[in-house]
Amino acid sequence: MAAVQVIVNGLVYQNQSVATYYDEIETLQQEVQRAFTRLQQDYELVIAEGAGSPVELNLIDKDLSNTFIAKTFGTKNILVADIERGGVFASIYGTLELMDPVMRRNLIGVVIN
């Protein structure tokens, strides 16, 4: 079974199975909200780097690093695509077509790396 290491506020929270991680997603969402709110109070600019695709349809309700922050806080978003993986333009087009309307409205740029 796949395992994940969950980091909360810079410290290891738990090493756990993916199933346990998904079971605790609401608790983790609350932690993310508290941390992001605290950062917004302390800093003029907060950069939240997502992982993977913001349109993984099978994971979108469990995502903490892409869609959760963007939708919860209405953040401005930049889509970064990797040209070395091949099919970069089709990937960008497909991502934009599948992207949540809130995230698409808040998209301020696309970067091809």
Q: What is the pLDDT of residues 12-51, one digit of tens each?
A: 999 999 899 899 999 999 999 999 999 999 999 998 887 7
How many of the other CB atoms lie within 10 Å of CB of 68?
21
State the pLDDT at residue 1: 66
Of the candidates 1, 8, 11, the residue with the CA atom closest to the CA atom of residue 36: 8
pLDDT value of position 2 = 79
pLDDT, tens digit (0-9, with 9 covering 90-100), for 35-92:
999 999 999 999 888 777 888 888 888 888 778 898 899 999 999 999 998 899 999 9
At 63 the pLDDT is: 85
Q: Both 74 and 106 in a single domain?
A: yes
Tell whether 61 and 112 lie within a shared domain.
yes
Dihedral over alpha carbons 56, 60, 66, 71 (to 10 degrees):
140
Q: Are residues 38 and 65 in the same domain?
A: no
Distance (Å, rounded) from C-alpha 99 to C-alpha 31? 25
Are 57 and 11 found together in one domain? no
What pLDDT does 110 receive? 96
Please indicate, yes or no, whether residues 11 and 60 belong to a single structural domain of this protein.
Answer: no
**CA distances for 108 relative to 64, 77, 93, 105, angstroms:** 20, 6, 15, 8
pLDDT band at 112 (very low <50, low <70, confident <90, very high): very high
Residue with tokens 């939240």: 48
Domain of residue 61 covers 52-113
Cα atoms found within 13 Å of the Cα of residue 33, Cβ hemisphere only: 10
Note whether 17 and 62 are same-domain residues. Answer: no
Judgement on whether residues 62 and 38 belong to the same structural domain of the protein:
no
- Are residues 58 and 34 located together in one domain of the fold? no
42 and 62, same domain (yes or no): no
Q: Collapsing DSSP states into helix, strand and coil, what is residue 112?
A: strand
Q: What is the pLDDT of residue 62?
A: 85
Helix, strand counts (H, E) of the chain: 5, 4
Number of domains in the chain: 2
